[in-house]
């Protein structure tokens, strides 16, 4: 974010009068500008949409969407919950929230499918299958994703451990034996968890293989990871949209399940007997 602001400020003398208005608005209101269309940004500062497009070109971007994407990626981890509420309130206006939220999630899944590194996905699957021990780590909003992955990995493996933490001390107590031959799956999305980053730094230093499930190449998890699975997330008010990350995790579980198909058939056959005996699931009477 600082680099982009510095570029805008250093280029200020070269901008036209209209472009200077855009530059000042972005530097003073970047949290709102990042989520405005070119048309809305132009109307807000009193210039034409084409002036906004030329402004992006002056900064070296192929178009305004590229500039907007840079702004969004670099500030999302800096926005407070209050700022998120303000931004999404401005964007939503009186529009149908249900329609917008669901269509936004559909778009994020499509973008994730187009952009995810499929070769790296396959390599991550192989690393998990070969691991001596598997650690799964996700904190705060990402804890739900880690829990989902942990639930199914507990069925797929006898060496998977879901790291559940209430404090930094407890986190490191659960991973202090991590080492070479182990795989640590770290999951974090804006606002990124410092505890997740610190845990991955420790695991990396112990020569464990790191799989990062995160949203962007600028995520702090990426430099620590051997395998990076990017899934688009986004803001729905103060809430993070984690639909695309969950889809990637679903795919990971399915891919590993297929590789362990024969073993899993035996596992589920035994589990069905246990579930039946201890009445784990409600049975529907179809008679």
Lowest mean pLDDT among 78-87, 191-200, 271-280: 78-87
Q: What percent of the chain has pLDDT over 70?
A: 87
Q: What is the mean pLDDT of residues 65-77?
A: 78
Residue ranges, CATH 3.40.50.10490, the chain? 110-277
Cβ-count burial 172-186 (b if 16+ within 10 Å, e if not): bebbeebeeebbbbb
Whether the CB-CB separation of 231 and 112 falls below 8 Å is answered with: yes
Provide the whole-model pTM. Answer: 0.74
Instruction: With CA atoms as reference, report the closest residue to 59 among 71, 47, 75.
Output: 71
What's the CATH fold of domain 110-277? Rossmann fold (3.40.50)
Token reading at 199: 């845990």
The confidence score (pLDDT) of residue 1 equals 47
pLDDT reading at 286 higher than 80: no
Burial grade of 231 (CB within 10 A; 0-12, 13-18, 19 or more): buried
- Pick 206 or 3 by higher pLDDT: 206
Give residue 100's pLDDT: 78
CA angle 174, 213, 243 (to 5 degrees): 115
**Residues 104-116, mean pLDDT to the nearest whole number:** 90
**Average model confidence (pLDDT) across the chain:** 87
Q: What does each C-alpha distance from 72 to 1, 30, 82, 234 come to in angstroms?
A: 9, 9, 16, 10
Of the pLDDT bands very low, low, confident and very high (cuts 50, 70, 90), residue 95 is low
Class of the domain covering 2-75: mainly alpha
Phi, psi of 155 (to 5 degrees): -80, -30
pLDDT-based confidence at residue 94 (cuts at 50, 70, 90):
low
More confident: 131 or 84: 131
Numbered ranges of CATH 1.10.10.10 in the chain = 2-75
């Amino acid at each position: 974010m600082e680099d982009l602001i510095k570029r805008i400020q250093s280029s200020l003398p070269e901008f036209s009068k209209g472009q200077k208005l855009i530059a000042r608005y972005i530097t003073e209101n970047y949290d709102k500008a990042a989520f405005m269309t070119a048309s809305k940004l132009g109307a807000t500062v009193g210039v034409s949409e084409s002036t906004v497009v030329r402004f992006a070109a002056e900064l070296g971007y192929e178009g305004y969407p590229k500039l907007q994407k840079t702004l969004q990626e670099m500030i999302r981890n800096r926005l407070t919950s209050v700022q998120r509420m303000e931004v999404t309130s401005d964007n939503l206006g009186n529009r149908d929230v249900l329609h917008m939220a669901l269509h936004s999630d559909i778009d994020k899944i499509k973008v994730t499918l187009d952009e995810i590194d499929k070769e790296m996905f396959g390599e991550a699957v192989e690393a998990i299958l070969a691991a001596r021990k598997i650690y799964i780590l996700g904190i705060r909003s990402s804890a739900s994703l880690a829990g989902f992955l942990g639930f199914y990995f507990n069925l797929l493996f006898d060496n998977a451990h879901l790291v559940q933490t209430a404090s930094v001390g407890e986190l490191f107590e659960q991973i202090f034996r991590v080492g070479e031959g182990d795989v640590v799956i770290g999951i974090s999305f804006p606002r990124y968890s410092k505890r997740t980053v610190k845990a991955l730094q420790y695991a990396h230093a112990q020569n464990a293989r790191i799989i990062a499930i995160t949203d962007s190449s600028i995520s702090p998890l990426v430099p620590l990871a051997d395998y990076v699975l990017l899934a688009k997330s986004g803001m729905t008010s103060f809430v993070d949209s984690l639909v695309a990350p969950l889809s990637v995790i679903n795919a990971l579980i399915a891919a590993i399940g297929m590789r362990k198909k024969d073993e899993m058939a035996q596992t589920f056959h035994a589990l069905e007997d246990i579930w039946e005996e201890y009445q784990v699931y409600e049975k529907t009477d179809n008679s």
